[in-house]
Amino acid sequence: MSAGASPVPAMSGTGYASCHHGEILQGVFLDARGRRCAALVTLPLTGLGTRADAVLRPGAGPGCHSVDPPDRTKALRAAALALRECRARRPQSALGGLELRLSGDVPLGLGMGSSSSDVIAAVRAVADACGLRLPSRTVARIAVRAERASDPLMLDGRPLLFAQREGRVLEVLGDALPPAVVVGCALGGGRPVDTLSLPVPAYGDDDVRAYERLRALLRRAVTEGDTQLLGHVSTESARRAQRVLRHREFDRLTRVAGRTGAVGVQIAHSGSVAGLIFDPAAPDLEARLRRCVRALNHEAIPVTRTFTTSTTSTTSTTSSTTSEESRHGRAHRRRDRPARPDTPGRRARLSAL
């Protein structure tokens, strides 16, 4: 900087990303070229998420970056990659050091996409500070580079078959999931799962055929709004995942589902969060939900929250939508906030487990 020149002011931005409630379907599938791809379909969940605040200090040296909390290294890596991307799009920008701060209420290690939520919020915050809004495909590419595999939280709320290690959509299954009410719970006492310690499953031709069959059934469930079929797909996917996860409560969970009239169960394939899926059109729904909660408590499986896949049910404590704008918020709106611990109308908080 020349003598007498005014210092370049710091630039700040915010970003927000919600989490999910584990997977409806996860396995190995064929892409359009017939190549095997690991992919998943997540169950959206709003009301929990990560807020990122980024401050860019042009006077600081390049690479002078920090994050709070300091253990969120994936988010910091993503923020640095986003900064490089923004610099390529606006070469005239004087981008120097980066200060990143993360806050939110997504439980860690339960398979709810906490690291993806951190990463995507961080990318959005940096882009906001640079006066940019990066395309979702760019955010996905950065997220995969930062954490090796990413959940599709940067995309809209439609049911997507997403190749998490490649950051690309294999198929848009439809406009919205069938209507469902989900009673959430946590297996293993809600203890975090070390996903890096899980064995890598070896998939054969029979596995590919089985997952492709479930993919076709899920596509039909979405097209026809068939909640019963949604529950079947989710249960079968969860059952196949037990070869790796081996949840001790899995059989008890399915028995509770059968006794209380749930159409199926849903389990995070890399964590301990789970849910029992109910058809909102079922007779005596409220009574079924109460029986389900009592049965889970009797089995010593902690109940967490009840939510829906639509915005119209009166039993919902959180809801998913089909709009990226409403799910994640505009990156540059400072009013975006993750839900606070005193948010009313919630039966339980996962973060308290």
Q: Which of 29-38, 80-89, 290-299, 323-332 has the lowest mean pLDDT?
A: 323-332
- pLDDT tops 70 at residue 342: no
115, 149 Cβ separation under 8 angstroms: no
Of 125 and 188, more confident:
125
**Residue 97 confidence (pLDDT):** 84
Kindly list the distances between the CA atom of residue 138 and the CA atoms of 37, 78, 191, 236, 250, in Å, as whole numbers in the listed order: 20, 11, 33, 33, 38
Model confidence at 93, pLDDT cuts 50, 70, 90, reads: low
Q: What is the pTM of this model?
A: 0.83
Distance CA 122, CA 326 (A): 18
**Residue 198 confidence (pLDDT):** 66
Residue in this structure with the two tokens 């993806």, named with its chain if needed: 116
Domain range annotation of the chain: 11-330+346-352
DSSP state of 69: S
The whole-number average pLDDT for the span 294-303 is: 96
Q: Is 61 exposed, middle or buried (0-12, 13-18, 19+ CB in 10 A)?
A: exposed
Polymer length of the chain: 353
pLDDT single digits (tens) 218-267: 999 999 999 999 999 999 999 999 888 788 999 999 999 999 999 999 99
Please state which CATH class domain 11-330+346-352 belongs to. alpha beta
Of 312 and 217, more confident:
217
**Residue 64 confidence (pLDDT):** 81
Average pLDDT, the chain: 84
Closest CA to 338 of 323, 327, 348, 322: 327
**Residue 340 confidence (pLDDT):** 30
273-278, strands of its sheet edge to edge: 264-267, 273-278, 181-186, 303-308
